[in-house]
Amino acid sequence: MFKQVLSAALLCSIMAAPSLAQKTAFSIGVSMANPNVAHPFENPPQPGAASNVIGGYGGILEKNYSTSKYALEGLVQVSFSKGLQLRLRGGYSLRQTDFLSIFGTPEGLPVQGSRTVETAKSWFLSPGFTGSHRMGKFSLNAGLEIPVYWLNRLESSNSTTDLMTPEADVYEYVRSFPGGMAFGIGPVGGISFHPIPQASIGFELRSAWMYTNLKGNYEETSNWSGTPVTQVGTAESYKHSGMSDLQFALMLRLAL
């Protein structure tokens, strides 16, 4: 399947028609998208997770589940004859899940609060090329990219609060998983609308086969015993390969 998609993207690039009219060969752009490369150890809490309160309680009385998943990107592009463009895309990616829940008795009395936050951050650069086929004020774009990601350490924190004893300590633990690099290759394609020759807005779809290599120590800091304690695991390497998530990006491009 991946080979077929890649072949189609290359064919569209080779058969592309003349490029957009602009003052120079250079253009810049910005875009916002969903992240398409996840940290391999991501395991965010899910809505409706079971209570960890021991005893005959009534379960979850209240829950607040939120996610923040986005990528902010910049783009530099140079256009050649016959519709070929070389480009460099780069930016910052965030994937964060925040799950707050209140547990209580069958009568509705709050007993315990629990909050779990998982955060994955990364930076990326993605050189590539595209070809364009112009249709009036619209253009079809297709090409190939080589994304490279620098994955920060994955952070997962949990805090538990005794709601029946306001002066009680808040019990916490923070887990940190190794970071590393991911790189790969994949097709890119989309549609652009050109209200004026010097500007365009549109969307892109991207995916890539990625190879990920992580190396480092697992760390956990907790105060369950009353005093903060940090445990550090043995340094390990983790390698993984596979297709990234499908990415949808909204783009604005300006010709220089």
pLDDT, tens only, 198-212: 999 999 999 999 999
DSSP assigned state of 52: -
Mean pLDDT calculated for residue range 222-241: 87
Contact 159, 178 (CB under 8 A): no
Residues 6+ apart with CB under 8 A from 40: 212, 214, 238, 240
User: What does the pLDDT read at residue 189?
Assistant: 96
Mean pLDDT calculated for residue range 164-187: 92
Count other Cβ atoms within 10 Å, centred on residue 7: 11
Per the prediction, the chain carries an average pLDDT of 86
For residue 30, pLDDT over 60 is answered with yes
**Residue 215 host element (H or E):** strand 209-216
CA 247 to the chain's CA centroid: 9
Q: What is the CATH number of the domain that holds 145?
A: 2.40.160.20
For the record, the structure tokens of 67 come out as 């996610």
Note the pTM of the prediction, 2 decimals: 0.81
Nearest to 120 by CA among 80, 56, 177, 198: 177
Q: Residue 117: which domain range?
A: 2-255
Place of tokens 């620098």: 150
3 state DSSP class of 3: helix
User: What does the pLDDT read at residue 58?
Assistant: 55
Phi, psi (rounded to 5 degrees) for 227: -110, 135
CA 256 to the chain's CA centroid: 30
**For the chain, what is the domain count?**
1
